[in-house]
Structure 1
Amino acid sequence: MLKNAQTVQPVHAQPVVSTGSVVGQVSSVLAVIVLLILACGWIARRLGFAPKAVSGQALKVSASVQVGRQERVVIVDTADARLVLGVTAQQITHLHSLPPVSPEEQASQQAAPADFRQLLNTLVKRPGKPQ
């Protein structure tokens, strides 16, 4: 045997990572996250945490005023009357009945909002500022 012989150690090359495997890993993790979000939404809806969709507009809260810390007075529009209700954390009390809203009043309530130019002008105009 040779005493002065150098031992050759193999050179370890870095493993080559293909872009296809990286894209596959990222897309699979993203798909798992999306499926997890959808499953959480489905569970929340089944357990009653998500609001249920209302098929029609049978009831509509047209006005609401906070009276106390947990007390409110609300006006609810129905097909044949407007109800003034007192709402607390424990109960709902009927306070008064009003006649139903006429179609002219409904049209005026649902009128189109002012355009952006008018809104901007009202915001820019300040009391005491000359124009």
Structure 2
Amino acid sequence: MLTALTRFSVVLLTLPLFAWAQSESAPEASEPERVGAASQLLNVALSLLLILALIFALAWLLRRFGQGGFGQRGDMKIVATLPLGTRERLLVVDVGGQQLLLGATPQQIRTLHVFETPVIDTSDTAHPADFKQKLMAIMQHKNSGGR
């Protein structure tokens, strides 16, 4: 799959060069060529398909290397996230085997709770719904036991 993606990116990068070379080598015509509506529509459709293919290729790359996969370290990782709004979220971060519940906003990141025992098993990939259920259970347990 990576070789097909590499070929696709090479084609995308060399396409403008071919278009430029073709426009430079085309002889000057005394009369402007008439371009039909069908050829313009075909040109727009092919451009749209090329852009959509590029978007899908980038989405695949982000999904493949998601959550900082390019520079992610083994001893510190994001275990789960829960969006609370458009820019606010809760994060469970595993640092050296200890899990922290963090609240993240665009202005700051705060430690909300430090778990003595891990809440989410990091050996398998947990689903986001599991995180939501576990967090709700912890919050209900804290509210019922603490008051």
- TM-score between the two structures when normalised by the length of structure 1: 0.37
Structure holding more helix per residue = 2
Which protein has the larger Cα radius of gyration, Structure 1 or Structure 2?
Answer: 1
- TM-score between the two structures when normalised by the length of structure 2: 0.34
